Amino acid sequence: MKQWYYAKDGEQIGPVIEDDLIALLQNNEIPPDSLTWSEGMPDWASAKDVGLTYAPLSPAEGFHHSESTPPDLSNTSVPEEPHPIESAPESETNTPVSEEEGVSYGGIGRGAYFGLTILLLVIAGTLGASGAFGAEGHYIMVIPSLIVGGMRYKNIGYSPLLVLLALIPLVGFVVGYQCLALPPGYAQTKQSDIAMKIVSGIYIIFILLIVFAIIIPLLAG
């Protein structure tokens, strides 16, 4: 049976019998563009050009050169073997994305929370100033504020009931920060974004101003 040489990774391999070479091609162990040579061929040629990929056709029929050894492979350009496309790991394809990219975490986002909070403050101030519900009429807005905060906590990924911590002095400051700063799904992703960094910077400046406002009068006294 006819014997063949073939090129793989720039190296000459062979001789192998024709059936073995056809098997390599059919099993995709070498691509159809692989260079091949057999006695009687003037030069190297791809397996598909000489008909090896269409077995059992005789690939070398029509060649009459009498060389018994293959030509120098270094003078022949060897096509690059295609690399299989690796699929992305499942962990990457399932990576959670932000609400802006199409994933909804429920509740309300930072913008809606900020707008509703401003609205509730305006209503509370109006009720307190008008005296419609007495001098402490603005306290009637505590319940709506807790509801809005609970919806924001749900969007973050926390239990909405945690918003009740806002009723505790000083802790309410932390709750307000989380509602304004943390992005959707933060409880699961633990990933910050530009808006969170901006709000955090504002809060730090605000805290420093309060500290200076307390310390400076003490130093002056």
pLDDT > 70: percent of the chain: 71
Nearest to 150 by CA among 165, 131, 140, 168: 165
The closest alpha carbon to 103, from 196, 187, 184, belongs to: 184
What residues have CB less than 8 Å from 13, skipping those under 6 apart? 5, 6, 7
Q: In the structure, what pLDDT confidence band is assigned to residue 134 with cuts at 50, 70 and 90?
A: low
Residue range 60-113, pLDDT digits in tens: 443 333 345 666 666 665 444 444 444 444 444 444 444 444 456 789 999 999
pLDDT at residue 99, rounded to an integer: 43
Residue 166 burial (C-beta neighbours within 10 Å; 0-12, 13-18, 19+): buried
pLDDT band for 131, please (50, 70, 90 cuts): low
Q: Where are the alpha helices (DSSP H) in the chain?
A: 18-26, 90-93, 110-130, 142-156, 171-181, 186-189, 194-220
Confidence of residue 147 (pLDDT cuts 50, 70, 90): very high
Query: What is the pLDDT, as a whole number, of residue 123?
Result: 83
- Output the pLDDT for position 69: 65
Mean pLDDT, rounded, of the chain: 77
- According to the model, what pLDDT value does residue 205 have? 94
Q: Would you give the DSSP letter of residue 51?
A: T
Q: What is the pTM of this model?
A: 0.48
Which of 93-97, 111-115, 146-150, 170-174 is predicted with the least confidence, judged by mean pLDDT? 93-97
pLDDT (0 to 100) of residue 61: 43
Lowest mean pLDDT among 22-26, 45-49, 66-70, 168-172: 66-70
**Structural domain boundaries of the chain?**
3-75, 105-220
Residue given tokens 């000083």 in the structure block: 170
Cβ atoms of residues 112 and 119 within 8 Å: no
Q: How confident is the model at residue 155 (pLDDT cuts 50, 70, 90)?
A: very high
Q: Which of 186, 220, 199 minimizes the C-alpha distance to 103?
A: 186
Task: Give every CB contact of residue 67 below 8 A, 6+ residues apart in sequence.
Answer: 39, 40, 41, 42
